[in-house]
A and B are shown apart, each in its own frame.
Chain A
Amino acid sequence: AQKITQTQPGMFVQEKEAVTLDCTYDTSDPSYGLFWYKQPSSGEMIFLIYQGSYDQQNATEGRYSLNFQKARKSANLVISASQLGDSAMYFCATLFSGTYKYIFGTGTRLKVLA
């Protein structure tokens, strides 16, 4: 079954340091998209970054980058120079070809310490 796993329920990081949030997925489908979302305490889900399974380079968006290791089926989110405003819940999600259904992980709660 297609599945997304986030093994870190919670993490702490010092302000201005980098942090990696883990995400692994399980599929035999060669074509899929990977997404990361941020959910602040206000509740709204904010799209951060996308990686396609055929993309050769790791995606980057400002301070966010996606460490995509296809053979290991991992799509870790790296946040550089953490800020207090990065404290939030982070969800990894995937969409497989031929389906409308996005599959979400259980999330990682990140707390940035001053």
Chain B
Amino acid sequence: DVKVTQSSRYLVKRTGEKVFLECVQDMDHENMFWYRQDPGLGLRLIYFSYDVKMKEKGDIPEGYSVSREKKERFSLILESASTNQTSMYLCASSLSPSLAYEQFFGPGTRLTVL
């Protein structure tokens, strides 16, 4: 079974703090993704990575950065957290860019920025 884990289920941070969200997958997937989920907006892609050290901006990259030093790990970084980054953050991975491959998701991190 593919397992995608995220470092925290719930996180509370203060405005201006640097925040790290970690995601690890154990099935040697090439592609990894970070989304944020807000009510009524569905899932919006922040960044994705198709290989180690490779990253691409998604639809809403502003205020975020990512790091992928190892294939299994994809980190999302909020350089200076703001209240409008309070959200549910979902990490996902997929085997390859083939159209037939679904994404596997982690349990999500609910981040609150005060």
Contacts of A42 in B (CB 8 A): 107
Question: Considering the chains assembled together, what is the distance between the CA atoms of A31 and B100 in angstroms?
Answer: 11
Mask, B10-31, CB within 8 Å of A = 1, is 0000000000000000000001
Contacts of B43 in A (CB 8 A): 91, 93, 104
Contacts of B99 in A (CB 8 A): 31-33, 52-53, 95-97
Question: Considering the chains assembled together, what is the distance between the CA atoms of A46 and B42 in angstroms?
Answer: 15
Contacts of B31 in A (CB 8 A): 100
Dominant secondary structure of chain B at its interface with chain A: strand
Check A100 against B97 for contact (C-beta < 8 Å). yes
Q: How many residues of A sit at the interface, in one of the four size bands? A: 20 to 34
Q: Taking CB as reference atom, which chain B residue is nearest A4?
A: B42
Closest chain B CB from A40 CB (angstroms): 11
Check B103 against A47 for contact (C-beta < 8 Å). yes
Check B42 against A91 for contact (C-beta < 8 Å). yes
Of the A-B pairs whose beta carbons lie under 8 Å apart in the complex, a sample of 24, sorted by A's number, is A9-B40, A32-B99, A33-B99, A33-B100, A35-B102, A42-B107, A43-B88, A44-B105, A44-B106, A44-B107, A46-B105, A47-B102, A47-B104, A50-B100, A93-B103, A100-B31, A100-B48, A101-B45, A102-B45, A102-B103, A104-B42, A104-B43, A105-B42, A106-B41
A: which residues have CB within 8 A of B?
Answer: 9, 31-33, 35, 37, 42-47, 50, 52-53, 91, 93, 95-97, 99-102, 104-107
